Amino acid sequence: MFYREAGQFKSTYAADQQLFPIRQDRIAMALLLALAFVGVPLASITPGIEGVIDFNYWYNGVIIPFLIFSLAALGLNILTGYAGQLSLGTGAFMAVGAFAAYNLMLRVPRMPILAAFVLAGVIAAAVGLVFGLPSLRIKGFYLAVATLAAQFFVVWALTKFGWFSNDSSSGVIAAQKIVIAGYAFDTPVKRYLLVLAIVAVMALAAKNLARSAIGRAWMAVRDMDVAAEVIGIPMMKAKLLAFAISSFYCGVAGALFAFAYLGNVEPQAFDLDLSFRILFMIIIGGVGSVLGSFLGAAFIVVLPILLDIAATGFERAAGIAVPAGLVSNLTLILFGALIVFFLAVEPLGLARLWQVAKEKLRLWPFPH
Amino acid sequence: MQFFLEVLIGGLLAGVMYSLVALGFVLIYKASGVFNFAQGSMVFFAALTVVGFAEMGVPFWAAVALALAAMAALAFFTERVVLRPLVNQPQIALFMATIGLSFLVEGTAQLVWGAQVHALDLGVADEPIEWILDKAGMSISKFDLMASGIAAALVAVLAVFFNKTRTGRALRAVADDHQAALAVGVSLQRIWVIVWMVAGFVALVTGLLWGARNGVQFSLTFLALKALPVLILGGFESIAGAIVGGLIVGASEKLAEVYVGPYVGGGIESWFPYVLALLFLLVRPEGLFGEKIIDRV
């Protein structure tokens, strides 16, 4: 009833192939984008809002990391969800992006920062390509181990060679200020808008990639690689492109992670834990789904915060101090339990739950 | 030459410790086709349980028995909650589920026993054996030697268990062919529980040895990561492979650290085994002793 596409006829192939074929989806998407681009910034600069909601906290602690992790999850989803190559090295590719952007800004005079982000993505793609080479010979866990090699090697190299961090004694890099055409992105709102714009464009590109020839080739490789090769899909091109494009996304996400989120980063910020966190995002959100990357990132970013709020609320209500480490351990347990739960009960993740909800809305109030 | 030998022997002895971790992986992989990423967490959990009970005043042997019981409970839990719902799923899904399981186990272990570093004393100090130091001028750790002795004993016990007992033969039948084993009346679920218990037992032994050496702490969980290149070198299905792979990784990483490390700034232990395994994979994708991989459409 709420979600009926009755009466929406497609009379051309182009109309049939469009990204959001159902009008309700288009309207909802437009509303969402309007809310994100206009509504949220407007709300945060409304006079008198500071006392009610701490927008700086929301931007720096929740929304910006959510968008950046979504981008990284999108990158991993291209590789693992669409092309079926499990990677445990996401953090490494993000690190390459972050440190490449830093060095480009540092060493190339008058480097425009957006170009630095793009080039950082390209450099990450090149590194991804190198570590993707073994995928031509091996697959499954073996490949996962190859990507682990990338994870450890990159973090080691960034720590060991001072050149990457401009010989800072602790290996920490201080990301340069974001200035585009003389306009400084120095407040949380401005940084949020920049990140949002980049993520929106790249998500659109990913959605388009997934329905292109290369996207279909990836899915064929994922579903049965030998069969895909037999029907004439160039295996080498498909796999290496998946690694390169995925690493490009992760590289840009890493650059944003350093420049728009943390400001000061060390190589250890991109350790195996980060890679796992992003893997969890796509498992929980939905493997092989653009929407799922966003849902999963939102879930993983928000869950620890909610647990923290619940713990402090409990402390206040019961008057008992919650032991230190309890919340972080509970988060660990909850993450683990959720991974097992989603893999067993809903392997397609939150994105699939959204699909089911849409089906239900369409039929409501009838059961069939 | 003497220095080379000393490094080599030290590396081989450290490799035995890697082999122990890899052994737990191989057991589970053979019987259930699951690549158990949680083995490192199980090592941590087992060691922490022993130390936790021991610090409560329970005698050491009783603490070990209690830890064994905890590992058995974990095996039941895993079979019921993780393996059974995921039957017939792709292997990679099961692998990711064990990553989830490892978080679950780590969180539970720290929730129950806290996150401090505990010391564990097995009664043998990690110091050089004097008469070798005197005679040959090489320092070889007493503790490492004892660890290899225990590892050898463990492998012998496992070999007897797999070859001479009814359950062991059932385990091997399942490892060979799940369906054929089912057809002759082997209960897969029971076998899975047993094999996870055996892996838990191996994890306990590993945890005690590693814990006595480095302290019982969270970093024990990273052992799983060290065992991955060992498995790739040795092959996922082979116990002998786990041992040989462990020795190769242990020896080569120590030698590389000593002879190559200084040229690139040191600390290459963290990734060298992976690159070694990776290069090896390009030549022989199924590992030293693994079964040949055959793809069918």
For residue B296, pLDDT over 80 is answered with no
Shortest Cα distance from A282 to chain B (angstroms)?
11
pLDDT confidence of residue A147: 87
Do B274 and A153 count as a contact with CB atoms less than 8 A apart?
yes
Consecutive 10-residue averages of pLDDT for chain A (368 residues): 78 85 86 88 76 77 92 94 90 94 89 91 94 81 82 87 79 82 83 92 93 92 89 91 95 93 87 90 89 92 85 80 76 87 85 87 81
Cross-chain CB nearest to A138 (options B35, B99, B281): B281
Residue-by-residue DSSP string for A62-91: IIHHHHHHHHHHHHHIIIIIIS----S-HH
Do A330 and B229 count as a contact with CB atoms less than 8 A apart?
no
pLDDT confidence of residue B190: 87
Question: Looking at residues B38-60, what average pLDDT do you find?
Answer: 88
A 200-259 → B contacts, CB under 8 A: 224-227, 230
Question: Looking at residues B96-120, what average pLDDT do you find?
Answer: 85
Kindly state the tokens that stand for A116: 């630095």
pLDDT confidence of residue A231: 92
Residue A30, Ramachandran bin (φ over 0: left; ψ between -120 and 50: alpha; else beta):
alpha
For residue B294, pLDDT over 70 is answered with no
**How many residue pairs bridge chain A and chain B with CB atoms within 8 Å of each other?**
130
Residue A139, Ramachandran bin (φ over 0: left; ψ between -120 and 50: alpha; else beta):
beta
Pairwise CA distance, residues B134 & B136, whole Å: 6
> Which chain A residues are within 8 Å of B82, Cβ to Cβ?
340, 344
pLDDT confidence of residue A118: 94
Cross-chain CB nearest to B275 (options A153, A336, A344): A153
Going by C-alpha positions, the residue among A82, A132, A75 that lies closest to residue A281 is A75
Residue B149 CB burial class (10 angstroms; 0-12, 13-18, ≥19): exposed
Do B110 and A329 count as a contact with CB atoms less than 8 A apart?
yes
pLDDT grade, residue B295 (50/70/90)?
low
Do B35 and A141 count as a contact with CB atoms less than 8 A apart?
yes
Query: Is A14 in the B-facing interface, judged by CB distances under 8 Å?
Result: no
pLDDT confidence of residue A93: 95
Pairwise CA distance, residues A202 & A118, whole Å: 11
Q: Lowest mean pLDDT of A121-125, B12-16, B125-129, name the range.
A: B125-129
Q: How far apart are the first and last CA of chain A?
A: 12
The ipTM (two decimal places) reads: 0.81
Kindly state the tokens that stand for A193: 């808008």
Q: How many CB atoms lie within 10 A of CB A212?
A: 10
pLDDT grade, residue B180 (50/70/90)?
confident
pLDDT confidence of residue B126: 67
pLDDT confidence of residue B249: 87
For residue B285, pLDDT over 80 is answered with no
Write the pLDDT tens digit of every residue in B134-146: 666 666 777 778 8
Going by C-alpha positions, the residue among B209, B87, B51, B200 that lies closest to residue B143 is B209
Best B78, B104, B268, B295 residue to mutate vs chain A (most A CBs within 10 Å): B104
Q: Which residues contact A269 (CB under 8 A, 6 or more apart)?
A: A95, A257, A262
pLDDT confidence of residue B293: 65
pLDDT confidence of residue B87: 78
Return the bridge partners of A179, or none: A184
> Which chain B residues are within 8 Å of A141, Cβ to Cβ?
35, 91-92, 95, 236
Q: Tokens 């690139």 correspond to what residue?
A: B264
pLDDT confidence of residue A242: 94
Q: What percent of chain B has pLDDT over 90?
A: 7
Query: Is A324 in the B-facing interface, judged by CB distances under 8 Å?
Result: no
